[in-house]
Copies of this chain bind each other. A is one copy, B any other.
Amino acid sequence: MQEYEITFIDKGVTAPAGVKAAGVHAGFRKDPNRLDAALVVAEGPHVTSAGVFTKNVFCAAPVQVDRELLEKHTAHAVILNSGNANAATGEPGLDIARKTAQATAQALGLAEGEALVASTGVIGVELDWGPFEVGIPALVNALSKDGGHDAACAIMTTDTHPKECAASFEFEGNTYTIGGMVKGSGMIQPNMATMLAVLTTDMPLGRSSAKEALRRAVNVSFNRVTVDSDTSTNDSVFFLSSGAAPVPQDDDEAFNVLAYALRAVCENLARQIAADGEGATKLVTVNVRDAASDTDADAAARTVANSPLVKTAIAGHDCNWGRIAAAVGRSGAAFRQNDVDIDIIGMPVLRAGLPCGFDEDEALKRFEADEIVIDVSLGTGKGGQARVWTCDLTHEYIHINADYRS
């Protein structure tokens, strides 16, 4: 992948020209001080949109509604609520998701179908219309360039802090910007939370370019985060372009730099999700290289990242190459055990399938870092590679997920 020069800026989803946002307390949550509804709107001469949604067979009502809407319409806005996921709610759930999208479009003066909807929180509980009745006008009223942070706060569930990112780059003498916000994929009592992300830009884009750039970026970012295994019922990533910046001359090159910058912003947000996994004390990055294929590398990296034994070892600051080797060995990736090298936080621990001595004190020192990097080479000579992010598995995870009833 070619590298371009991009600059991260201390902003969020509203960083691009033409993008406004808001976050308010609408009443989905009981605590009046907690924001629970967010709105992101792209205004400009050439609005484009794209979305990527969960592959879980159990998918929430808003996911089903958004898929329908995006087939026929361009989205200019996304309304999001936390506190209730509107999942496993049957026909009434679909009705309220459609009504929310419609009312939001209307309040913004958009055509029908131009607003999308997302929900996160408990599942299997009917979503009340009441809070939207208050929330939609309040959100439209609060829309501003400064509303990105409130929006990021309003979609939080078990997240310990809001997650935002923005970056800008020069192209053909003009500045373009990408913004984003996300909430994490941890799971929460009594049911499940989800991953929701909104990405924005001001670069004018074709519909298929927006879709392709988003697909690529999600594949190497949000799809590479695993906290407690996989997609939930509500996972949704939205991408809105206002088109408010100048139209680029060189379409192909504009797409390349946009895709590069979008990927960088999504990677940054994905790492924030992994680092803030439930009970996490460490961000864990698993790199697998020299696999027989990228697919094999992906299987190996995911098996390591999902292994409770690897994750508890990291929580215990234990340089446990055996658990990593065992996970790689059962991942389905093709390799020979005598070709495998493993490094933990830059220290060689396995070479050609055999353990190498390492300095235990040095290992303990390196485990103080916030990010633990595991590098595995399968030594097939074929060059397949993959990277996956996760977090360690701690008592706090068990506490969050098991103890609330006892």
Residues in chain A within 8 A of chain B (CB atoms): 55-59, 87-90, 123-124, 187, 189-192, 228-233, 303, 306-309, 312-313, 315-318, 320-323, 325-330, 333, 335-338, 340, 350, 353-355, 364, 393-395, 397-399, 401-406
Contact = CB atoms under 8 A, between A and B. Distances in A.
Given A57-B335, A398-B398, A229 B307 contact: yes
A352 to B, nearest CB: 9
A402 B398 contact: no
A229 B192 contact: no
A231 B308 CA distance: 14
A405 B316 contact: yes
22 contacts: A55-B330, A56-B329, A56-B330, A57-B336, A58-B337, A59-B329, A59-B337, A89-B354, A190-B318, A191-B323, A192-B322, A192-B326, A229-B308, A232-B326, A233-B325, A315-B398, A316-B402, A316-B403, A393-B398, A394-B402, A395-B395, A395-B398
A318 B400 CA distance: 12
Contact of A398 (B57, B192, B312, B328): B312
A360 to B, nearest CB: 9
Contact of A325 (B58, B306, B309, B327): B58
Contacts of A323: 187, 191-192
A233 B323 CA distance: 10
Contacts of A333: 57
Contacts of A57: 328-330, 333, 335-337
A329 B59 CA distance: 8
